[in-house]
Amino acid sequence: MMAVIPSAEPFAFEFDPEKTALVVIDMQRDFLEPGGFGETLGNDIAPCAAIVPTVAALIAAFRDAGLPVIHTRECHAPDLSDCPPAKRTRGRPSLRIGDEGPMGRILIAGEPGADIVPELYPAEGEIVIDKPGKGAFYATSLPDDLARLGIDTLVFAGVTTEVCVQTTMREANDRGFLCLLAEDATASYFPEFKAAALAMIRAQGAIVGWTAPTAKIAEALQ
């Protein structure tokens, strides 16, 4: 049975809930908590930390509907074999990927800082994708996981809107998935970047995808 979100932008979003999954992008301690990588880059983490309750509500809506929830973490192997120098040396952070930080080595798989914040922690059986790039389709099992689940529609939440979220949406769009971004369950360190990303995503008749508030998405799932 098809569901619809009439108020989605740029126009109504129609989808089959039975073929829909939620992808929660990089809600990790290193990006959301004091002392983490996001803060070492000089960012104000408050806008990203503020969406945790909304993301939690969206996750709860999918769990209540019995639909898949997929979590991603941007992180690297301890030997940094999957982290090219062009990525590690970019910018002027006080700590770089792999360096020791307050929550272990920055963005290294298995370290406390690279893990998902406790309030949004994956439930048993939920898929967790460790990704070495910005997009969740690059060098991961995500394409196979979605094919196995029979998914053709993806709802997105997480951080940051203009980088890892938008990159993954564009990857998904190129692969033929319908894409919907939960407007109030995504954030950037720079609010103007989030606003620009939302506009780009839904421009030209949803060229990348649609956007809608979490409450309207949850309502459609019911």
Residue positions annotated with a catalytic role: 26, 131, 164
Cα 107-112-113 angle, rounded to 5 deg: 40
Q: Report phi then psi at 199, rounded to 5.
A: -65, -40
Contact call for residues 192 and 162 (beta carbons, < 8 A)? no
Q: How far apart are the C-alpha atoms of 89 and 93, rounded to whole Å?
A: 9
* Whole-number Cα distances in Å, 213 to 50, 152, 185: 15, 20, 8
Q: Which of 140, 132, 141, 26 is nearest to 81 (CA)?
A: 132
Q: Which residues of 68-91 are buried (b: 16+ CB within 10 A; e: fewer)?
A: bbbbbbbbbeeebeebeeebbeee
Q: Which of 10, 27, 19, 17 is nearest to 157 (CA)?
A: 27
Contact call for residues 43 and 189 (beta carbons, < 8 A)? yes
Q: Is 64 left (phi over 0), alpha (psi -120 to 50) or beta?
A: alpha
Identity of the residue numbered 52: V
